[in-house]
A = this chain, B = another copy of it.
């Protein structure tokens, strides 16, 4: 397992996500960011909706920035819940539904994030999770 998330690892994560998306038959956009939340690699599969390009990056950023899968944030931002105001406070950057996974080192430090957008929330989360597990197990 690597500790630095460089372009070689980024490409491997991207290919892993594309392979899973192809199995599911859903074109998506995928973004891999480093511990600083900045893009290492980002790509849009042919046929993925336009909006997915930006949302994939925002999901990857959110996971790197919070060290949480974006799906964990979803219940917390509903009306009355502890982080309700987060969606407005961080509007345009943070996405709090599924599709983003943090990438962690063996000592649980954040080394980056992967974000997927273009399918259903469940599909996006499944593809991002597959890529993240490939990284953790590397």
Shortest Cβ gap from A83 to chain B (Å): 6
Q: Is the CB of A49 within 8 A of B88?
A: no
Which residues in B have their C-beta under 8 angstroms from that of A83?
97, 121
Q: Knowing A78-B79, A79-B78, A79-B79 touch, does A110 contact B49 (C-beta < 8 A)?
A: yes
Q: Is the CB of B94 within 8 A of A89?
A: yes
Which residues in B have their C-beta under 8 angstroms from that of A36?
34-38, 50
Question: Which residue of chain B has the shortest Cβ distance to A80 in the bound complex?
Answer: B78
* A-B residue pairs in contact (CB < 8 Å), sample of 9: A7-B43, A35-B50, A39-B42, A39-B43, A41-B43, A41-B44, A49-B65, A49-B67, A51-B66
Which are the 6 A-B pairs with shortest beta-carbon distances?
A36-B36, A51-B65, A87-B88, A50-B65, A6-B46, A41-B43
Identical chains in the assembly = 4
Question: What range describes how many residues of A lie at the interface?
Answer: 35 or more
Which residues in B have their C-beta under 8 angstroms from that of A85?
74, 77, 87, 95-97
| A60 CA to B124 CA, complexed, in Å | 25
- Excluding A37-B50, A40-B44, 8 further A-B contacts by CB distance (< 8 Å) are A51-B65, A74-B84, A84-B97, A85-B87, A85-B96, A89-B92, A90-B92, A91-B92
Which residues in B have their C-beta under 8 angstroms from that of A37?
36, 38, 50
Question: Which residue of chain B has the shortest Cβ distance to A43 in the bound complex?
Answer: B41
